[in-house]
Chain A
Amino acid sequence: MYQFNFQPVLQNLDLLLYGAWLTVRLSLLAMLFGLIVSVLGAVAKTSGIRPLRWLVDAYVEVIRNTPFLVQIFFIFFGLPAVGVSMSPNTAALVALVVNVGAYGTEIIRAGIESIPRGQIEAGRALGLNPVQIFRYVVVKPALRNIYPSLTSQFIYLMLTSSVVSVISANDLASAGADLNARTFASFEIYLVLTVLYFLLALGFSTLFAAIRRMFFTYPAGR
């Protein structure tokens, strides 16, 4: 009969909680930079400049059709061979940004294309200036359309970020792996880690829902 031993986990809970904070920080940074990459990618894709579009298409397809684990190996182990060396933490952030940027590009492109031309013309007919049109007629409705897919992509990113522990970047999964190497209470440690990730996912989705209520409910709360 298996003897459960939660003692090592409970004694080192502070280490795991610190790891959870690192995962939150890493995810938030990756979301921020990933969003920037996504917007640039989407703009490039809808720009009508052919070579630019092909480049973005190639980026999106390559990233979406290869595993994140292989991407991070390539960035962390492969790139130094061509002179680009990064610390594990930097490589982890870069890999996450590159990864989420590809998915985000597609999401934001769909958002831009979801605004009918007539809506922009209607804005003009109402006498809005170009900045107002861009802000209230294009960006806000587009954001509202893509918000659900964008935020679930971000939560998926947070869960995926656990993979950065394979290159010993600092995060929750790494904190668990270190603890496991010292105490060997493997099942108990990974059970607690899983619960912590679940709580993080729950926290993020609560946060995203609150942001949606604040900014994207019409007509109130503009």
Chain B
Amino acid sequence: MIREFSSADILFIVTAVRWTLILSAIAFVGGALGGLAIALSRSSQNRVLRRIATGFIQVFQGTPLLMQLFLVYFGLAVVGLPIDPLLAAAVALTLHASAYLGEIWRGAIEAVPSGQSEAATALALGYRDRMRHVILPQAMRIATAPTVGFLVQLIKGTSLASIIGFTELTRAGQIVNNATFQPFLVFGTVAALYFVLCWPLSLLARQIEARMRRALMR
């Protein structure tokens, strides 16, 4: 039965935004932890660690997110876990975010002038203190704009979770479209909602970047 595209449908789509946000938040927090580990390994003195981190980044930046989602989704059965779309999407997006944030933050850590690290060493600071009090605070400022930019990419990436059957914004749209057959309106609404989520973040990233550039020019 085809029915009208009603306010109830719009409400259904709008409330599905929360699953997009929850999934993005899980992936971002998980990706931040993983990304920090990757960035530190990647810029460490230990050759094995560096190699592993480089390989991790290469694999996750060199393969489609869609394949990563499918692999984790079907991989759950391989390691004996129940197949669950939310779990699969959360794990895959966390790994994906770890690789991208790791690469962004590695760049930021390496952008801190080496004199800073040398000065800290000269002051007899150990690795932990050096990172925590000298390098990371400066790297964080450099990394803010690209990190916010990646958050936009991550929110858009969560739409692929719909393909493995997780009901977030895009899949809510598909469900409504199957019932009402108003694809123009439905997917237009879905796109508008993503835009509302992502555009402010894009503007914020650009603003931070412009401010950083002005600060560097002074």
Size band of the interface chain B makes with A: 35 or more
- Which residue of B64, B74, B191, B194 contacts A159 across the interface (Cβ within 8 Å)? B64
Q: Is the CB of B187 within 8 A of A70?
A: yes
Q: Is the CB of B191 within 8 A of A70?
A: yes
Residue of B nearest to A190 (CB): B70
A64 touches B159 (CB 8 A): no
Closest to A191 in B: B71
Q: Do A69 and B159 touch across chains, with their CB atoms under 8 A apart? A: yes
* Cβ contacts B159-172/A at 8 Å (1 or 0 each): 11011000000100
- With a cutoff of 8 Å between Cβ atoms, the chain B residues found around residue A87 in the complex are none
Specify the chain A residue showing the minimal Cβ separation from B68: A194
Contacts of B67 in A (CB 8 A): 162, 173, 190, 193-194, 197
Expressed in whole angstroms, the minimum distance between the Cβ of A175 and any Cβ of chain B is 13
What is the distance, in angstroms, from B165's C-beta to the closest C-beta of chain A?
12
- With A66-B194, A67-B159, A194-B71 already in contact, the answer to whether A160 and B64 are too (CB < 8 A) is yes
- The 0/1 profile, CB within 8 Å of B marked 1, for residues 63-100 of chain A is 01111111101100111111000000000000000000
Q: Which residue of A lies closest to B80 (CB)?
A: A2
Minimal Cβ-Cβ distance residue in B for A23: B64
Report yes or no: B156 in contact with A67, Cβ–Cβ below 8 A: yes
User: Which chain A residue has the least Cβ–Cβ distance from B65?
Assistant: A159
Does A186 lie within 8 Å of B64, measured CB to CB? no
**A34-78 interface with B by 8 A CB criterion:** 61-62, 64-71, 73-74, 77-78
Question: Do residues A2 and B78 form an inter-chain contact, with CB atoms below 8 A?
Answer: yes
Chain A residue contacts of B177, Cβ below 8 A? 77
Interface string of B64-92 (1 = CB under 8 A from A): 11111011001101111000000000000
25 pairs, A vs B, C-beta closer than 8 Å:
A2-B77, A64-B152, A67-B156, A67-B159, A67-B160, A68-B156, A69-B162, A70-B187, A70-B194, A73-B173, A74-B184, A74-B187, A74-B188, A77-B187, A159-B64, A162-B66, A163-B64, A187-B75, A190-B67, A190-B74, A191-B71, A194-B71, A197-B62, A197-B63, A201-B63
| Other A-B pairs beyond A69-B159, A69-B162, 9, CB < 8 Å | A2-B77, A2-B80, A61-B199, A65-B198, A74-B187, A165-B66, A173-B64, A190-B74, A201-B63
